Chains A and B, each alone.
Chain A
Amino acid sequence: MSSQNTQDKIAFSDEALQLVNSIIKRYPEGKQKSALIPVLHIAQAEFDGWLSPQTMDYVASLLKLKPIEVYEVATFYSMFNLKPAGKCILEVCKTVPCWLNGAEDLVAYLEKKLGIKTGETTADGMFTLRTVECLGSCGTAPMLQCGASYYENLTNEKADALIDKLRVENTRKNYTDII
């Protein structure tokens, strides 16, 4: 996908633009603002996994919104990154049902394995480790989300295998990925 976040002009690929137009059509005439969150997801995936001010301004112009309307939404929702992050963001659920099933041990293990603290990114830009709130996977705890995928019933061994797999694939994982 394009990575034109640092250039003066940014633009969606034709494919993404087509998708955006089909999303706008889901809402009544004049209500294209409804498409904002879905379009921000696409923008985040297209432009390096985060929403720069420039990306947000671009989305505003596409949807005929004021830039502030985009900023106030982008800052409200936890799935939007307002700063660059690692290619693979490991989001470990730490809420009670997962906590009862070893989420704290899993976080400690990943911190040690990756050599970073929760909230940090590895020096090679590959992994960001985060803790998040209940992901609706409490019956298969402990678990983490990376991009569109849920990894459940995790053990240290499964976490090792996952990290290895992600390193080999070496691609950015987005929520919008088709899995």
Chain B
Amino acid sequence: MGKKLLLEHINVEGIQSLEVYRKMGGYASVEKAIKTMTPDEVVEEVKKSGLRGRGGAGFPTGMKWSFIAKPQGVPRYLVCNADESEPGTFKDRYLMEKIPHSLIEGMITSSYALGANTSYIYIRGEYFYVSRILERAIAEAYAAGWLGKNILGSGYDLDLYVHVGAGAYICGEETALLESLEGKRGNPRIKPPFPAVKGLYGSPTVVNNVETIATVSHIVNMGGEEYAKIGIGRSTGTKLISAGGNINKPGVYEIELGVPVEEFIFSDEYCGGIPNGRKLKACVPGGSSVPILPAHLLLKTAKNESRLMSYESLSDGGFESGSMLGSGGFIVYDDRACIVRSTYNFSHFYRHESCGQCSPCREGTSWMEKILKEIEYGRGTMDDIDLLWDIQGNIEGKTICPLGDAAAWPVAAAIRHFRHEFEYHVKYPEKVKDIKHTPPPMPV
């Protein structure tokens, strides 16, 4: 069994309540930070921990925090990103629903470190019922003096609010999120200025993922150096993985970073293998935006080393032969899955979710979806495959926010590793007529 931090008490009866959460040691980090540490000392521990943002980009959290501007007389904000809309990802919902106080505790400790007196949790609108769970937990925390004025007699004040969105993947992008929180359309902002300088209402702001913030409490409790001992290399700590697709035991797993991918998929401690005696075909290991890998490159790197669940190992080989850890949305495909249909499905998603600001993304995503639909239904040509390759290359890197890249990469990876399936659709239209067609076997 690997080390558990975030989910250690997940099965404790009543852990949703403040009373039980406290009995399990909850809110210790708030006491420790506020009573014995300066805000800068908390930032220092987070730096030492090597924690990297759990929302997808993996940016070092301590470094991000140290960038926050501190002009006199201007408020600072901490905003928690609970938009969780990256297909394949459901860990934040699980954590907030099961142990809401772990997020509240992390928000208090982190807000203290950043000098924020008002903080928001921006949660996707579809999670309305989860927002109610958080609001109940926040009310309990206020009543017990963990929030509000003069917390623990320290003179530090903090108000914490939940803000619900209304259905838009783009609002997970941090500047779109801030626009949305200001009551506007979720159009990402041009950076710089970065939120650390000009964020919510033009004030210095840090945006962090739910899991990142919940992890801060553990770092404060155990110390940054201790935390850094967990995991492997620069992938320190534990990570929540949302495992889904064709596996025996879908769900959220807390892993110590560095677990071999093969063990994660086949061991009974985690996914428990592929159901119905099918074979592992492919996997999108970090949420829909990261490149899909065929089984042989998933389990072993191009250098024939065992592939590990870590930032470095999953991206080993670059996009030629690797992928990314991303948000930890781990989607497994068995050998019946048609990669063209999967790519068409994702392209529909990105077309639907593009905010429409940048032409390459707005036009490119609709064009890709259209071509993929033609190919999937046996009406495409070989030239279409090359055209698709061209279009994705003309979106990548040419947009204000990374949604463009996120739309391009899955298409590029599917063509790179599964070109034979696209060609099969072009060559044998009658074999792909049924929407449940069997894909051709992998070439050897």
Instruction: List A residues at the B interface (Cβ < 8 Å).
Output: 26, 28, 31, 33-38, 40-41, 65, 69, 72-73, 76-80, 94-97, 99-101, 104, 133-141, 145, 148-150, 175-176, 178-179
Interface residues in B, total, Cβ within 8 A: 58
In contact, A97 and B93 (Cβ under 8 angstroms)? no
Total A-B residue contacts, Cβ distance less than 8 Å: 147
**B346: A residues at CB distance < 8 A:** 95-96
A99 in contact with B345 given A77-B165, A138-B88 (CB within 8 Å):
yes
Distance between Cα atoms of A168 and B424 in the complex (Å): 49
Distance between Cα atoms of A148 and B97 in the complex (Å): 14
Q: Interface segment, B33-41, B176-184, B302-310?
A: B176-184
In contact, B183 and A96 (Cβ under 8 angstroms)? no
Instruction: List B residues at the A interface (Cβ < 8 Å).
Output: 75, 84-90, 92-93, 118, 120, 124-129, 132, 161, 163-169, 180-186, 201, 242-246, 250-252, 284, 288, 329, 331, 333, 337, 341-342, 345-346, 349, 352-353, 355, 435
A134 in contact with B185 given A79-B167, A139-B252 (CB within 8 Å):
no
Please indicate which of the listed interface residues A78, A134, A149 has the most CB atoms of chain B within 10 Å of its own CB.
A134
In contact, B163 and A34 (Cβ under 8 angstroms)? yes
A145 in contact with B185 given A99-B345, A134-B349 (CB within 8 Å):
no
In contact, A136 and B163 (Cβ under 8 angstroms)? no
Distance between Cα atoms of A101 and B128 in the complex (Å): 25
**B118: A residues at CB distance < 8 A:** 28
In contact, A78 and B88 (Cβ under 8 angstroms)? no
**B251: A residues at CB distance < 8 A:** 139
Of A26, A31, A34, A136, which is within 8 A of B127 by CB? A136
**B342: A residues at CB distance < 8 A:** 96, 99
Closest to A76 in B: B185
- Could you write out 27 A-B pairs with CB less than 8 Å apart? A37-B125, A37-B163, A40-B166, A41-B125, A41-B128, A65-B183, A72-B184, A73-B183, A73-B184, A76-B168, A78-B166, A78-B168, A79-B126, A96-B88, A96-B284, A97-B87, A100-B244, A100-B331, A134-B86, A136-B89, A136-B93, A138-B88, A138-B245, A138-B250, A139-B242, A141-B244, A148-B128
**Nearest-CB distance from A159 to chain B (Å)?**
19
Closest to B94 in A: A139
Closest to A78 in B: B167
- By Cβ-Cβ distance, the 4 closest A-B pairs, closest first, are A77-B166, A78-B167, A33-B183, A36-B183
In contact, A79 and B166 (Cβ under 8 angstroms)? yes
**Nearest-CB distance from B384 to chain A (Å)?**
21
In contact, B331 and A138 (Cβ under 8 angstroms)? yes
In contact, B164 and A104 (Cβ under 8 angstroms)? no
**Nearest-CB distance from B330 to chain A (Å)?**
10
Distance between Cα atoms of A156 and B208 in the complex (Å): 40
In contact, B88 and A133 (Cβ under 8 angstroms)? no
In contact, B243 and A139 (Cβ under 8 angstroms)? yes
In contact, A137 and B90 (Cβ under 8 angstroms)? yes
In contact, A138 and B166 (Cβ under 8 angstroms)? no
**A33: B residues at CB distance < 8 A:** 182-184
Distance between Cα atoms of A141 and B88 in the complex (Å): 11
Distance between Cα atoms of A101 and B245 in the complex (Å): 7
Beyond A40-B166, A133-B169, A134-B89, 4 additional pairs, beta carbon < 8 A: A72-B184, A136-B85, A138-B244, A140-B250
**B341: A residues at CB distance < 8 A:** 99
Of A31, A134, A148, which is within 8 A of B88 by CB? A134
In contact, B128 and A133 (Cβ under 8 angstroms)? no
Of B163, B246, B252, which is within 8 A of A100 by CB? B246
Closest to B334 in A: A100
A37 in contact with B166 given A136-B126, A138-B329 (CB within 8 Å):
yes
**B355: A residues at CB distance < 8 A:** 76
**B84: A residues at CB distance < 8 A:** 136
**A141: B residues at CB distance < 8 A:** 244, 250
**Nearest-CB distance from B147 to chain A (Å)?**
13
A145 in contact with B126 given A37-B166, A138-B90 (CB within 8 Å):
yes
In contact, B244 and A37 (Cβ under 8 angstroms)? no
**A149: B residues at CB distance < 8 A:** 129
In contact, B166 and A97 (Cβ under 8 angstroms)? no
Distance between Cα atoms of A80 and B168 in the complex (Å): 11
**A97: B residues at CB distance < 8 A:** 87-88, 244-245, 331
A133 in contact with B163 given A33-B182, A95-B288, A138-B250 (CB within 8 Å):
no
Distance between Cα atoms of A148 and B186 in the complex (Å): 23
In contact, A96 and B288 (Cβ under 8 angstroms)? yes
Closest to B160 in A: A26
In contact, B126 and A139 (Cβ under 8 angstroms)? no
In contact, B186 and A76 (Cβ under 8 angstroms)? yes
Distance between Cα atoms of A140 and B168 in the complex (Å): 22
Distance between Cα atoms of A41 and B124 in the complex (Å): 12
Of B89, B181, B182, B435, which is within 8 A of A104 by CB? B435
